[in-house]
Amino acid sequence: MVLTGRLGTAATRSATATATTSCWTWTRPRPRPRLLPWRVGFRSCSTSPGPADLVKPAPKSPSKIIHKFPGTRPVPYTRGPKAVGSRYKGHYYLLLPDKKTRRPVPGPRTLIVPMLIQVSILGTATADTPGVCIVLKSNDTRYIFGHVAEATQRLIVQRKAGLVKLRHIFLTGNIDWHTVGGLPGTLLSAAEATEHLRAAARAYNEKRREKGKAGKEKDPRSHGIHIHGGPNLTHMLAATRNFIYRKNMPIKLDEICHDTRGTAGTTSCKPDWEDAYFRVWNVPLTAAGPSICRTPGSSESLVPQKRRLSTSSEPDPGDAARLETGQVSDADRSEADRLIRSSIVESMFSMDGKDKTPNILVPLPLSDVRLPAEMFVRENNEFIKYEGPVPDPHNPQAVVFVQRQFLAGSLARLPGTQPCFDSMCYIVKSHPRRGKFDPDAARSYGLEKLQYRLLTSGETVTGKTPPGVIVTPDMVMSAQVEGQGFAVIDIRNLNLIDSLLARPEWTNEEIMQGIQVMYWSLGPRIKDDSRLAAFMQKHSSIKHILLGQDVSPNTLAFTSTAEQFIKLNAIDPDRFPLTVFSNKPSELSEELSSVAEVGEPSAAFLLAPKPGVVKGSEEPLIDTTLPAREVMTNAAIMSLVESARQRIADPAFLLQMDSAERGMPGRDVEIVTLGTGSALPSKYRNVSATLIRVPGHGSYLLDCGENTLGQLRRSYGYEGADEVLRDLRAVYISHLHADHHLGIVSVLARRHVLVGNTKPPYPLSVIATTNLLRFLDEFNEVQDFGFRSSSIHKVFTTRLKHKSREYECPRRVAPETTAGMHAHQKSGLPNVDVCMVRHTPEATAVVLTWPESAGGLKIAYSGDCRPSSDFASLGRGADLLIHECTFDNEVDHAIAKSHSTMPEALGVARNMGARKLLLTHFSQRYPKLPVIGGGGDGGEVRNEDGSLQFDGPILSAFDLMRVKLGDFRKAQLFVPAIQELLNETVEGPEDVGEELDELLAEQ
């Protein structure tokens, strides 16, 4: 093919088309004045060509316009055509930022030493709060150090840690789900709180303008959150791109991949990060031991077998030579992968609406170019503007390059990565503050009061006594007060201790000066290592506080819900069995107990103005007898409880119940509502998760919201939760909203530890949408939790039976396939039928039907949806319907949010012909008690004319409630007593109102 064109100075054009490269040869005819015609010859190529396929060009001509792309350098990059939407396979060019043109980030202009600096323990690692978390509080800013594990956002709400003031998160340890499992949820909660703050600020400003008041208005802008952590931080967050995106709160990531001080012989005292308040030194610990190989089945690695922190950021000297021959160096490829990941994160959280994704050069046939467009051809690693005819009548398929923006959000798959087992730790100190000003000394020099401020700001002034005397700040101020600080050390494996002992920071007096306390996050068996006690003894002047599941007691972290649950247990102990907890810490060795102590929840240490322990700051332990005694002494409640108990003991009632339950299969099937809230976890309700335990046929999870594993452990204990996981047959995820699936990784990871390399009798089936399964597969490269093993069977909801007349999904529903129809036979599942429902594009509802050996039990689960006639038809005659009830009777809200009200849920149950109904997924506006309508005995719901809206037994779910299918009518008898209890203690909707008022007042 030959392309004839012109090389000149025509106007610049732009284009957004996509493609990948082809092969070509340059030939140029004799130059002509002004406009020079030229040709490009192409040779066919059966395989995907790259830069090395270019034929050597003709000698250069001065008339060629070489395009340099200022500030960037083109690098060949092949990550699949789906990344750019191309119908061709091959290379395109990613414009990487030129390292030489990068500008250093300026430091803070004004150093501020807050009057009050306090560091406190937020999480101590319990059954339902698995992470160790430290909060640093200054005047108007919050910093988190440690793990942002599952349930962190709920813990922040419980202990009023100041979510709207959160600015920085410093993640300790290595990046895996244990350390960052709560990060997506925390970001969503922070974005929600930020939106409330902005709305409150706008309303305040508008009110002042209406009153004609002048003055400074409240700033409604978001400061965003800056997240610091080790390798794979960006990959983890980018993997959530299909369900975490908040444009109202910018996120900045600092993935720490370089060790600035090494392990020995380094004397640098410069902090790795600082702001106007604090300085932070990174202390990475390198895991010793054999090399850890790439996860089987993962994509091609771009890093060594084990990903470690690098001690040098210098480029490889051979990079330039490899680029000249069309090869891409490991450094450039890693940089390109990093840029792709960070661009995805920026597109997820970009607040100003401007995409900050990189540009790429995409090869495109001339016939596909949409004008106006700026086009280039490539010769000898240089790009030359093409300004010939478009399209070219002689060669319409000739290929040119066009520049376009990389569509980060449309990337089908992230670049591959490796697990990193190195641990990140930190040393934190405030800035030094000036000494106390001495006014007597200032007067002795004849200074005026206006000069005092200049001296305190560090300037030199001229005095009058004696005349013309030069007065410096040190002449009228006491000595500078050094900054105070703390350290957070994270050791989850014994092979990190040698690296800890070899770190140069511990012998650097300038860095260690002023360190008052060390918080230790310890993994299993770490506390018994004698080297740890010896290190603490060497630094005995520092207060050492130990945290972790191996040392901290399994206390009740969520005191509000614990007190409520104890009261419910006093009313109906069969449905609300007491949870598992312990207030006794682990015993420390005599050597360790002499230099360290176990940390307590909310225990605070004051760093300024005077360092010391804040007495009485510890979270008080719950006296479990008090809530129960409160119920026992309430005559109204106990009267209703006694009436229910008498009714249950009445033979006539038992006979009536047996008659109503005749023919009901699975009366011993237990339903455990692990999470009954919606959107965000609250003090009283965790997010969605329901466990179905079918004797002889395994356990099944319907949705798996954040901290589902913690709820299991709180309800059954560690060993009991492990038994449930061993018996787990399937996890069904209804849709991609985060409150329905952020707990699945920890569930799969724990089961992987329990199962190990053994082959279980039945694989665990994960039934979910394509995007969720892709997220799990991408995160499996960061942490191998067995998702690619044969013990997990992946079932796409688009391959099961569908009925979707009512709501057409934007993506075409796949036809019924053999694999979908018989998925249950491969994994020991019951029959699984799903239908599309109106909520999100891929939202489904499910009906599970067990075989005759289980009595033909049939359970229908709605997920999140508007009322669906297809779902009612699919679940016809279900023994149990579990339906969402986000709103009481607020139809407008339900329609706007694509949820259901209580009457609508009852209507679905009636149309389905369900025998029993369990309501769940309640809005935060009902923190304790969902309003279940007017009712008589047993909590029946009636219409205005007295007729029943649904003639079967109805229950409203509470967190950790356990009810057997045959006991619904017994449980109903206690509903009036529960209503009486919660009506007396009901609170308003949970929000961040107090924090917002406080923050607005500070502004």
Report pLDDT for 523. Answer: 94
- Average pLDDT in the 864-878 region? 95
Q: Which of 51-55, 724-728, 981-985 has the weakest average pLDDT?
A: 51-55
Using only C-alpha atoms, the chain has a radius of gyration, in whole angstroms, of 33
Is the pLDDT confidence value at 580 over 80?
yes
Report pLDDT for 827. Answer: 53
Report pLDDT for 295. Answer: 32
Q: Which of 715-724, 849-858, 907-916 has the weakest average pLDDT?
A: 849-858
Is the pLDDT confidence value at 47 over 70?
no
How far apart, in whole angstroms, are the C-alpha atoms of residue 258 and residue 334? 14
- Average pLDDT in the 615-643 region? 93
- Average pLDDT in the 253-262 region? 88
Highest mean pLDDT among 469-483, 603-617, 697-711, 840-854: 697-711
Q: Which of 702, 703, 706, 704 is nearest to 681 (CA)?
A: 706
Q: Which of 362-371, 514-523, 547-556, 575-584 has the weakest average pLDDT?
A: 362-371
pLDDT digits (tens, 9 = 90+) for 350-370: 655 455 566 777 787 887 787
Q: Are 607 and 116 within 8 A, CB to CB?
A: no
Is the pLDDT confidence value at 934 over 90?
no
Report pLDDT for 23. Answer: 33
pLDDT band with cut points at 50, 70 and 90 for residue 940: low
How far apart, in whole angstroms, are the C-alpha atoms of residue 13 and residue 722? 62
How far apart, in whole angstroms, are the C-alpha atoms of residue 169 and residue 133? 10
Is the pLDDT confidence value at 565 over 90?
yes
* Residue 749: alpha-carbon gap to chain centroid: 16
- Average pLDDT in the 991-995 region? 45
Report pLDDT for 21. Answer: 32
Report pLDDT for 806. Answer: 38
More confident residue, 390 or 450: 450
Report pLDDT for 4. Answer: 30
**Which of helix, strand or coil describes residue 136?**
strand
Is the pLDDT confidence value at 471 over 60?
yes
Supply 533's token pair.
């006690």
Highest mean pLDDT among 151-160, 296-305, 535-544, 790-799: 535-544
Supply 492's token pair.
């989850």
Is the pLDDT confidence value at 247 over 80?
no
pLDDT digits (tens, 9 = 90+) for 637-663: 999 999 999 999 999 999 999 998 888
How far apart, in whole angstroms, are the C-alpha atoms of residue 562 and residue 601? 16
How far apart, in whole angstroms, are the C-alpha atoms of residue 667 and residue 879? 10
- Average pLDDT in the 265-290 region? 84
Peptide bond into 609 cis (omega under 30): yes
Rounded to two decimals, the pTM is 0.83
Report pLDDT for 53. Answer: 32
Q: Which of 7-21, 455-469, 688-702, 874-888 has the weakest average pLDDT?
A: 7-21
pLDDT band with cut points at 50, 70 and 90 for residue 62: very low
Report pLDDT for 821. Answer: 39
Is the pLDDT confidence value at 984 over 90?
no
Report pLDDT for 196. Answer: 81
Report pLDDT for 218. Answer: 72
Torsion-angle region of residue 71: left (phi > 0), alpha (psi -120 to 50) or beta?
A: left
Report pLDDT for 668. Answer: 94
Q: Where are the beta strands (DSSP E) in 286-444?
A: 359-365, 375-379, 382-386, 399-405, 423-430
Angle, CA 507 vertex, CA 503 and CA 510 arms, to 5° = 115
* φ, ψ (nearest 5 deg) of residue 974: -90, -5
How far apart, in whole angstroms, are the C-alpha atoms of residue 152 and residue 146? 11
Is the pLDDT confidence value at 222 over 80?
no
Is the pLDDT confidence value at 742 over 60?
yes
Report pLDDT for 795. Answer: 87
How far apart, in whole angstroms, are the C-alpha atoms of residue 569 and residue 4? 85
Q: Are 49 and 23 within 8 A, CB to CB?
A: yes
How far apart, in whole angstroms, are the C-alpha atoms of residue 717 and residue 711? 9
**Which of helix, strand or coil describes residue 335?**
helix
Q: Which of 114-128, 323-337, 385-399, 725-739 has the weakest average pLDDT?
A: 323-337
Q: Are 3 and 392 within 8 A, CB to CB?
A: yes
Is the pLDDT confidence value at 288 over 50?
yes
Is the pLDDT confidence value at 951 over 50?
yes
Give the DSSP H or E segment for 786.
none
Q: Mean pLDDT across the chain, nearest whole number? A: 79
Report pLDDT for 125. Answer: 94
Report pLDDT for 945. Answer: 53
Q: Which of 195-204, 249-258, 403-412, 893-902 has the weakest average pLDDT?
A: 403-412
Supply 434's token pair.
């000036």
> By percentage, how much of the chain surpasses pLDDT 70?
75
How far apart, in whole angstroms, are the C-alpha atoms of residue 13 and residue 922? 54
Q: Which of 513, 540, 512 is nearest to 597 (CA)?
A: 540
Report pLDDT for 455. Answer: 86
Report pLDDT for 487. Answer: 98
Is the pLDDT confidence value at 49 over 60?
no
- Average pLDDT in the 256-285 region? 85
Neighbour tally for 405: CB within 10 Å: 14
- Average pLDDT in the 727-745 region? 95
Q: Which of 329-343, 811-825, 951-965 has the weakest average pLDDT?
A: 811-825
- Average pLDDT in the 389-402 region? 76
pLDDT digits (tens, 9 = 90+) for 63-113: 445 555 666 777 776 554 343 444 444 466 777 766 544 444 444 445 666
* Residue 224: alpha-carbon gap to chain centroid: 15
Report pLDDT for 48. Answer: 32
pLDDT band with cut points at 50, 70 and 90 for residue 138: confident
How far apart, in whole angstroms, are the C-alpha atoms of residue 715 and residue 720? 8
Report pLDDT for 202. Answer: 83
| Residues listed for the chain | 1003
pLDDT digits (tens, 9 = 90+) for 754-789: 988 677 888 899 999 999 999 999 999 999 999 998
pLDDT digits (tens, 9 = 90+) for 423-468: 999 999 999 887 888 888 888 999 988 888 888 877 899 988 888 8
How far apart, in whole angstroms, are the C-alpha atoms of residue 908 and residue 900? 10
Is the pLDDT confidence value at 997 over 50?
no
Report pLDDT for 26. Answer: 35
More confident residue, 669 or 30: 669
- Average pLDDT in the 289-314 region? 37
Report pLDDT for 640. Answer: 96
Report pLDDT for 344. Answer: 86
- Average pLDDT in the 668-693 region? 93
Q: DSSP secondary structure string, 436-468? A: -B-HHHHHHTT--THHHHHHHTT--EE-TTTTT
Q: Which of 341, 363, 478 is nearest to 411 (CA)?
A: 341
